[in-house]
Amino acid sequence: MGRDITKCHPRLQILAAKLIEDCRKNGLIVKLGECYRTVDEQNRLYAIGRTEPGSIVTYAKGTDYSSMHQWGVAFDIIRNDGKGPYNNSDGWFGKVGKIGKALGLEWGGDWTKPVDLPHFQLKYWGSTPANLKKLYGTPDNFKKTWKDVYITEKEEAEVVETGYINVNGKTIKIDKIVKDGRNFINLRGLENAGFSVEYNAASKLPILDNKTEDISISADGDIKKARAVNIRGYNYVKLRDITDAIGNIKVEYADGVVILNRE
Ligand SMILES: [Zn+2]
């Protein structure tokens, strides 16, 4: 059941492939296990150790959408070198976990209740589905926000996602991407949030072709450099650079939402 990674979030598909590849280069043979789970599949797992024989395997009830697997943002792995799918006697899962984390994934081996060595997930919305439930209600609604994956000639893929920033208590929907493990947000979104951020009128905006480059932005009269990438005509600028340029902005993350406060 649930072994189809193509039913998962596009960003997760990319990172799963990268994880397998990076692990292979380090002599770790990884195979994908559980990926996307339907409500029925999650309920069947939940029944094990409760109404069905066996010991408890999950605390997440299917009808509550309380597994990240149901939101298409998690996958499990198994060890595929013939030494046993869950053999961790040589710390194998920790080595894979380290590589996964370097790719920006959250690793279940860092959890305590319960420790989940084979589990990896996207971390943009927090560790649990609470924030996804609040933002989207159901996995089906969430899936509608999964936009196209843009592939460049370098076969580098970027996924434009719906994100939320909270500015002085007001939540604003923005388009964002994650690049090199950092949040890049659509500059237009920040304008919608009431910030006066303008391009330096003196410099023509370069066509960035999905490569990150420094652009000049004029923020409150000062010209600052910011890391940016242009995806299909829209400029995505590194959030940290924007807030550094504007100044007097406190950036916090809570429940997967970026919170900006003018100090
Ligand atoms: Zn899992």
pLDDT top residue among 202 and 78: 78
Q: How far is CA 172 from CA 55, 248, 262, in A?
A: 44, 19, 15
User: Is residue 193 pLDDT above 70, yes or no?
Assistant: no
Cα–ligand 1 centroid distance for 119 (angstroms): 4
Residue 29 has a CB neighbour count (10 Å cut-off) of 15
User: Is residue 199 pLDDT above 60, yes or no?
Assistant: no
Among 129, 117, 147, residue whose Cα is nearest residue 9: 147
Cα–ligand 1 centroid distance for 121 (angstroms): 8
Cα–ligand 1 centroid distance for 73 (angstroms): 10
Cα–ligand 1 centroid distance for 55 (angstroms): 16
Token code pair at residue 181: 């493990």
Average pLDDT over residues 240-263: 64
Q: What is the average pLDDT score of the chain? A: 78
Could you confirm whether domain 5-131 is CATH 2.60.40.10?
no
Cα–ligand 1 centroid distance for 184 (angstroms): 27
pLDDT in tens, 201-232: 444 333 333 346 666 665 555 666 778 776 66
Cα–ligand 1 centroid distance for 75 (angstroms): 5
Give the model's pLDDT for residue 150. Answer: 40
The pLDDT > 90 percentage for the chain reads 35
Q: Which residues lie below 8 Å from residue 178, measured CB to CB, with a gap of 6+?
A: 11, 104, 124, 159, 161, 184
Neighbours of ion ligand 1 (CB under 5 A): 76, 119
Cα–ligand 1 centroid distance for 108 (angstroms): 8
pLDDT in tens, 13-56: 888 999 999 999 999 999 999 999 998 999 999 999 999 999 98
The structural domains of the chain, with segments of one domain joined by +, span 5-131, 160-262
Cα–ligand 1 centroid distance for 89 (angstroms): 20
User: Is residue 104 pLDDT above 70, yes or no?
Assistant: yes
